[in-house]
Structure 1
Amino acid sequence: MDDVLAEDLRQVIGELVRAVRAVDTMPSGEAATLGHLDRGGPQTTADIAHLRGVTHQAAAKTVKELLGNGLVRAEPHPHDGRKLLLHITDPGRARLQQERSQRANRLNTAIRDTLNPDEQKRLRECVPLLARVTAGITGR
C-alpha cells in the first residue's frame, strides 16, 4: 500500500508542478538558477550545476544567458581567482518574483475554483506533512 501511495503522490505532484509551471515566461533552468541565487546567496557555476543536478556546461550556458540579460552579475571569487561568484541582480530578483507570482496566482485560482472551504482547510493541513516528507528526502 505504501508503494501505491508513494507512486500516486509522485505522479500527482509532478502533474501539479507541470501545470503551475505552464504559466512560466522564462526557461525553467534560468528560473531555477535565479531561485538558488535568491535563496542561497552568491554561488559559483559549479555550485549551481550541483544544486540543479545538471552538467557544468549546462549550468554555464544558463548563467551566460542570465548574465547577458542582466539578471545576474559575476565577480571574482574571494578565495579562488579561477572562479566567478554569481549574484542575483535587482532586475533578476524582480523577474523571479514575477515568475513566482504567476505560479502562485495560477495555483490560488485553481484552489479557490475547485475546492470548497472545508477542502481548502484540509489541503492547508497537508502542507506541513509534505514539507516533512520533502525534508526526509533532502535531509534538510
Structure 2
Amino acid sequence: MNRDVSQDPGRGPGEAEVAAERLQHAMKRLRARLRTESGQHAVGFAQSHLMVLGTIAQEGPITAARLADLEHVSPQSISQSLAVLKAEGLVRQEPDPQDGRKKLVSADPSALELIDRLMKGRSSFLAQAIDQVVAPDERADLDKAIELLERIATADPWRARI
C-alpha cells in the first residue's frame, strides 16, 4: 500500500524534514554500530569497497560499467575499488565470452566467505539487540517499521506527481 502523504492535512509543514533528519541520524548510528559489531573495522576495507564487493558477489560476473550503474557511482570510482579488491585477491576479471572487448568481474570464494562472515556478524548483533530492547508486544511495531523502511528505500520522490 503506497500512499502519498504529502497532501495529508493532518501533517504540518516541516514534519517530514524533522523525521528525515531523525531517520538519517538513527541510520548513521546503526550503520556505525553494525560495522563495529560485525568486525568490519578489523578487515581494513572501506565501506565503499565492501559494498562494491557485495554487489559483485550478488550480481556477478558483471562488467565494471554495470557495477558503476548499480552502485550509483562513477566508472573511475569503480575502477579504484576494483584495483583495491583485485590487489587483495578478492575479485578477478576475465574476458566476456559474448564480447571479448569487455571484462567481467567476479568474486573469489574468499570474498564470499568474508561477506558471509560480516553479514552473520551483523545479523547476530541485530538479533541480540532486538531480543534485548524490543519487547514481545513491540515486535509488530518493529515489523511495521521495517516495512516502512523498505517502502522508503524503493520510493521515487522525484517522479512527477499526478
Amino acid at match of 1:18: A
Amino acid at match of 2:30: L
| 1:116-127 paired onto structure 2 within 5 Å | 116-127=135-146
Query: Which residue, out of 78, 92, 102, partners 2:121?
Result: 102
Change (3 A) 1:105 1:90: same
Find the aligned partners of 2:95 and 2:130 in 1 and give their Cα distance: 45
Aligned-pair identity in percent equals: 29
Q: Give the corresponding residue for 1:52.
A: 71
Structure 1 gaps of 5+ residues are none
| 1:1-140 paired onto structure 2 within 5 Å | 1-22=15-36, 23-24=39-40, 25=43, 26-137=45-156
Task: Note the C-alpha offset of 1:98.
Answer: 0.8
Find the aligned partners of 1:70 and 1:138 in 2 and give their Cα distance: 39
Find the aligned partners of 2:28 and 2:157 in 1 and give their Cα distance: 17
Task: Note the C-alpha offset of 1:138.
Answer: 8.9
The number of residue pairs the alignment matches comes to 139
The structure with more helix, counted as a fraction of residues? 1
Q: Which runs of 4+ in 1 moved over 4 A?
A: none
State TM-score, norm by structure 2: 0.72
- SS of the residue 2:92 aligns to: strand
Find the aligned partners of 1:138 and 1:19 in 2 and give their Cα distance: 29
State TM-score, norm by structure 1: 0.82
Find the aligned partners of 1:43 and 1:74 in 2 and give their Cα distance: 9
Find the aligned partners of 1:38 and 1:28 in 2 and give their Cα distance: 15
Find the aligned partners of 2:121 and 2:81 in 1 and give their Cα distance: 21
- SS of the residue 2:105 aligns to: strand
Change (3 A) 1:133 1:51: same
Structure 2 gaps of 5+ residues are 1-14
Find the aligned partners of 2:77 and 2:60 in 1 and give their Cα distance: 20
Find the aligned partners of 1:110 and 1:138 in 2 and give their Cα distance: 32
Task: Note the C-alpha offset of 1:126.
Answer: 1.8
The RMSD of aligned alpha carbons is 2.3
